[in-house]
Structure 1
């Protein structure tokens, strides 16, 4: 990892990202394989706190947000291009949505914020049963590349575990065979302890025997949260995946929970209301609008609502 950089640069890099969420995009030096490994612990905890999520709800939203970040590999790095990932299942989780952009900013929400724990036993350990909470349904990906019309594709949920569903989307809609791993670990206090994931994809020209070798390596890796809690960083996970092939770091991306909402955008929701409803809000002494993506509430006084009505009447909206 970072073998071409001097020791001071390596030290500065590790210190800067010590407690931050970030991702590493890399290719194998000796094969056409790409890896995107991410740590999303902080942003997942922020989402849990902002939305007041139960542990299982935090796990599902955390996986979905990490999945959206991994899908930004389809976008131009460092841009406002966006990926929206929408999961609609018939399980108690209901609707789950996450949106991420090329800058590494992500936001999201889950309709059922207070899912009760559904557990299953795996290798003698009790784990959250995400599949049962999500149920069967669809996964929709919307790519906003800044063009006139966003690209949208919907595939059925094949597992409800989210990672496998994203891999299925990449294969069916993007024709890219991929290995996807996502994980969120909840501590005994009910809060997020570790979160992250990785995406592995062969590039044109990759040899089949080497693809099979890396597939075997990925299958034998511990869960991504186990790697993170053991002190592994995204670059370490990348090295584990590409063991024996060498690692060429292409980009580092800082990741964060960030919502684009504002009082101005909330006001647009008021402007869309019929005047009768606005007059009713006046009688009720004002209005409040809560952003789905970050649970921030914006308050509007009667005077502000009167101004909205004036805007509507003058056609100035």
Structure 2
């Protein structure tokens, strides 16, 4: 997170000049902003995630509805990084275990704005429903009923884990339910992923808005009305709205001030070295068999990257294992 300074000294009102600077700096890249209101204690984290959702689609070869599901989970995990200390190695993992055809959904994001994730079944057929006269993906049917779990690793030893029932399957509402039940933070959460006819992600993003301690009832009521009147966030981004524009819509009737911002990206921590450790943990007999078969490819679940180990490289791993047992 790129802090703009202490709250008192360096808050920037979202003037036309500030919005122009943000547009020029980020252009078409994914990013998020934290905004607050000058008059009352309200806060919002708004993100644009179009590019990273498209990268996830391409890496995992996702069907259209699987793209929408994973895109929502990736965006939701990034929104949950608002619970972390920005700019650190702290991370949050969002795990959705539903009984729908998409299966397990996992997204992990760190406080630097890097996110990765996968779905168990990437080639799920499309389910649709009609809502307000419009046909849209039936995300709830794809996800099903089950459990949503959030794991926070704050770097202090054992990660903190909390689970809640999936109440809607739409992911945004489920995250809001988690924040209320497990974190005692009443929040409005909106997430959208717009997938085009070719399967490409055309627009994606989300927001998390919440009252801070000391917020007045009047401000909370106005926030709720503003959020309810918002069009789908993916539609806003498709129209060219940026995170700062959406923040102003969430805070309509207030003066919106920019507190912090950061660039967002799909990024995995995997490497050939990490993949090699999984081979090292395998029994000697299995490694010998893989060596005779001409090598093996190890695929990262989170990003789809494959690492090939030749018979010679497997032989080196066997030698290292032999050293460790002597």
Q: Which residue of 1 aligns with 2:53?
A: 44
CA distance in 2, matches of 1:117, 1:162: 17
Secondary structure at 2:112 match in 1: coil
1:112 aligns with 2:121: yes
Shift in Å, 1:196 = 0.3
Secondary structure at 2:303 match in 1: coil
Shift in Å, 1:190 = 1.6
CA contact under 8 A between 1:86 and 1:97: conserved in structure 2? yes
CA contact under 8 A between 1:50 and 1:294: conserved in structure 2? yes
| Residue correspondence of structure 1 range 122-271 to structure 2 within 5 A | 122-271=131-280
Give unpaired runs (5+ residues) of structure 2: 1-10
Q: Which residue of 2 aligns with 1:103?
A: 112
CA contact under 8 A between 1:57 and 1:113: conserved in structure 2? yes
2:298 to 289, 293, 311: 289
Q: Which residue of 1 aligns with 2:65?
A: 56
Secondary structure at 2:219 match in 1: helix
> TM (normalized to structure 2)?
0.94
Give unpaired runs (5+ residues) of structure 1: none
4+ runs deviating over 2 angstroms = 1-7, 9-13
Secondary structure at 1:185 match in 2: strand
Shift in Å, 1:258 = 0.4
Against the structure 1 CA distance between its residues 232 and 278, is the aligned structure 2 distance closer, same or farther, given a 3 Å change threshold? Answer: same
Shift in Å, 1:209 = 2.1
CA distance in 2, matches of 1:188, 1:141: 33
> TM (normalized to structure 1)?
0.97
CA distance in 1, matches of 2:202, 2:51: 9
CA distance in 2, matches of 1:296, 1:45: 16
CA contact under 8 A between 2:66 and 2:119: conserved in structure 1? yes
CA contact under 8 A between 1:30 and 1:246: conserved in structure 2? yes
CA distance in 2, matches of 1:272, 1:195: 39
Q: Which residue of 2 aligns with 1:89?
A: 98
Q: What number of residue pairs does the alignment pair up? A: 315
Secondary structure at 2:122 match in 1: coil
CA contact under 8 A between 2:186 and 2:210: conserved in structure 1? yes
Shift in Å, 1:5 = 7.2
Shift in Å, 1:2 = 5.0
Shift in Å, 1:36 = 0.3
Shift in Å, 1:314 = 1.4
| Residue correspondence of structure 1 range 15-30 to structure 2 within 5 A | 15-30=24-39
Q: Which residue of 1 aligns with 2:43?
A: 34
Secondary structure at 1:167 match in 2: helix
